[in-house]
Amino acid sequence: MRKPDTGSPASPPPDEAALHEAALAHLARYATTRTGLTRVLDRRVDRWARTAAPDVAEAARPALRETVRAVVARLAAAGVVDDAAFAEARARSLARSGRSRRAIAAHLAARGVGSDMTEAALPDAPDAELAAALACARRRRIGPFRPEGTVADPKREFGVLARAGFSHDIAARALASDPETAEALVAALRRG
């Protein structure tokens, strides 16, 4: 929705210095990828364009988009934005919270991480997927983490793990685990 014209002149378009400062302010608060930072800066340009005259905004928008990409490229070259480091850190965090390899890959793809970086960042330890499934089961209080006296509903519990992206084999192994082994695997996953 366009702001009503109050007679005051529109602000000038953001220049490279303003976009660089906006990028640094965003990076100070959030970890992101090149794609994510580009989206943030593009939205900043779009906000400016909504307040500017339509002809001025349309004329300036292509140059501003190029400036955004130049700022992001400069920050990436300086190592401030590192997609591989982002992917590794986010993959570790998501695995510790009980996300499957599929869910982690989808999350990273949505953040603009390439498939080769995603594959390199995914946990590849032999029991990593089982440990993640157990972390999910613990959070949902199913399988070996089901409270004492609660009746098991295997179909529902399999469904929970399947919707989380775990294979049938991993879900079956997680749900059949004994509580001590399950706790040990979840603890090992959290230690890293």
pLDDT tens per residue, range 141-167 = 999 999 988 888 999 999 999 999 999
Confidence class for position 123, pLDDT limits 50, 70, 90: confident
- The average confidence (pLDDT) of the chain is 91
Distance CA 186, CA 66 (A): 46
Res 10: pLDDT: 66
Distance CA 64, CA 54 (A): 15
Res 3: pLDDT: 52
Angle formed at CA 188 by CA 186 and CA 192, multiple of 5 degrees: 115
> What would the pLDDT profile of 66-110 be if each residue is shown by its tens digit?
999 999 999 999 999 999 999 999 999 999 999 999 999 999 999
